[in-house]
Chain A
């Protein structure tokens, strides 16, 4: 597996603002995934980001709230827009390598919205 990094590792934000989270992989990958893990909960897939196409969002998540960019095969961003305290969560990016189904996760971004 390759190395996956995320920035920022944590942040405290005011309600109504937006935060962009970056995910960098040290090798080229086709699919990148963005998950949310709310306190005490499991992982919920927000969207799948493929390079060169629009992200595919899961039920309950919309592009206006969570816009995603995928400018190349090693990088993606997730923006959490117009934040409220309910957006306080850990946001994780993950990817697959070499057509394997196994997903590997970045270290996560811990977001607290006040």
Chain B
């Protein structure tokens, strides 16, 4: 069985603050893939990143960065200099290799960036 834990239910920051969203996962597979999605109030899921289990290199994309650490089974997401438009629910998700690649989602973290 696989599991994704996002311990932070809600986070509130002031604009321009940095914020880190935590994600801890459990899986027995050696091959797996991790994702982050953003869900703004409109409801549509926006894909942010995918990482496979063999690539522990951290990634930076603009104000977004991701820290993947297999030793602690974590895949944390940091937003630098947050903006009001970053306000959304962020989901971490996991899938193992397999025929259908079913996604297991964490419960999500509601990020509110206040002006």
On whether the two chains bind one another, the answer is no
B-binding residues in A (CB < 8 A):
none
